[in-house]
């Protein structure tokens, strides 16, 4: 192999494996010519053995609650190297401890356990029907967030403003009023929507969007909905 070409590739940071692919050679053949020409890969120092990771270095990082990936970034080593030395020192991350606790609890048939959540600390976990467990606080937050997303979608479908006064400053003050109470199947709560998006949209098509004040006035007969209020068609 040409020495000049090899030297340029190596100085440019190209690995032995990449040079082998580019030249149609086996990596062992490329290594042979690199050594024969007295050359060295610029990646050799980066990937050379760098010694052990001391327990005194790893233990404080574990106590900070860092994951294996975060520890690897902190000490500038691969995740495989970090896992190896954590095992050698008998250390385990919070996630590993939680996973072990989950395995033991599930093996014993428990449906609820206390474990450490990265977001909420020590808290309750429950068994998931699909397998494994989930933090109750995380699950609750996810449900609330979904309800808000669905309501926001319904508000956008309905024009995003009160049909009487045009109020549109905050979604929290906008409510769905059923034009025909006899057609009402379920309420579209100001706190969010628990039904599927398709069912929620079908129900919202029976309503007009009002602000809280106008809604209260309509309910007691102090205000009427303009006949020109646009009807929301159910999505096709």
Q: What is the pLDDT of residue 46?
A: 53
- The pLDDT-based confidence of 72 (bands split at 50, 70, 90) is confident
- Distance, CA of 54 to CA of 108 (rounded, Å): 36
- The pLDDT-based confidence of 232 (bands split at 50, 70, 90) is very low
Q: What is the pLDDT of residue 163?
A: 94
Domain boundaries of the chain, sorted by first residue = 3-47, 55-88, 99-140, 144-219
Q: What is the pLDDT of residue 236?
A: 47
Give the residue-averaged pLDDT of 45-74: 80
Report CA-CA distances (Å) from 92 to 9, 64, 178. 41, 12, 56
Q: What is the pLDDT of residue 148?
A: 85
Q: What is the pLDDT of residue 159?
A: 92
pTM: 0.48
Q: What is the pLDDT of residues 162-205, one digit of tens each?
A: 999 999 999 889 999 999 888 888 877 654 566 788 888 999 99
- Distance, CA of 47 to CA of 37 (rounded, Å): 21
Q: In terms of pLDDT, which residue wins out, 27 or 85?
A: 85
**Where do we find the tokens 């403003």?**
161
Q: What is the pLDDT of residues 98-132, one digit of tens each?
A: 767 767 776 777 778 787 777 888 888 888 777 77
């Amino acid at each position: 192999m040409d020495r000049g070409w090899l030297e340029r590739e190596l100085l440019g940071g190209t690995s032995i494996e990449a040079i082998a692919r580019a030249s149609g050679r086996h990596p062992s053949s490329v290594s042979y010519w690199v050594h024969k020409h007295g050359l060295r890969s610029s990646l050799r120092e980066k990937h050379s053995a760098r010694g052990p990771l001391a327990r005194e270095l790893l233990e404080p990082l574990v106590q900070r609650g860092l994951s294996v990936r975060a520890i690897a970034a902190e000490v500038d080593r691969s995740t495989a190297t970090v896992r190896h030395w954590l095992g050698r020192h008998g250390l385990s991350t919070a996630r590993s401890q939680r996973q072990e606790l989950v395995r033991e609890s599930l093996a014993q048939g428990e449906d609820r356990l206390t474990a450490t959540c990265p977001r909420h600390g020590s808290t309750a976990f429950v068994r998931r029907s699909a397998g494994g467990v989930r933090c109750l606080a995380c699950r609750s937050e996810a449900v609330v967030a979904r309800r808000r997303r669905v309501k926001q979608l319904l508000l956008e479908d309905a024009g995003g403003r009160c049909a009487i006064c045009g109020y549109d400053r905050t979604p929290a003050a906008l409510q769905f009023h059923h034009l025909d109470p006899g057609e009402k199947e379920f309420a579209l709560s100001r706190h969010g929507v628990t039904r599927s998006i398709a069912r929620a949209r079908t129900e919202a098509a029976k309503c007009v969007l009002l602000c809280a004040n106008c809604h209260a006035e309509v309910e007691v007969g102090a205000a009427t909905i303009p006949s020109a209020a646009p009807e929301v068609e159910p999505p096709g």
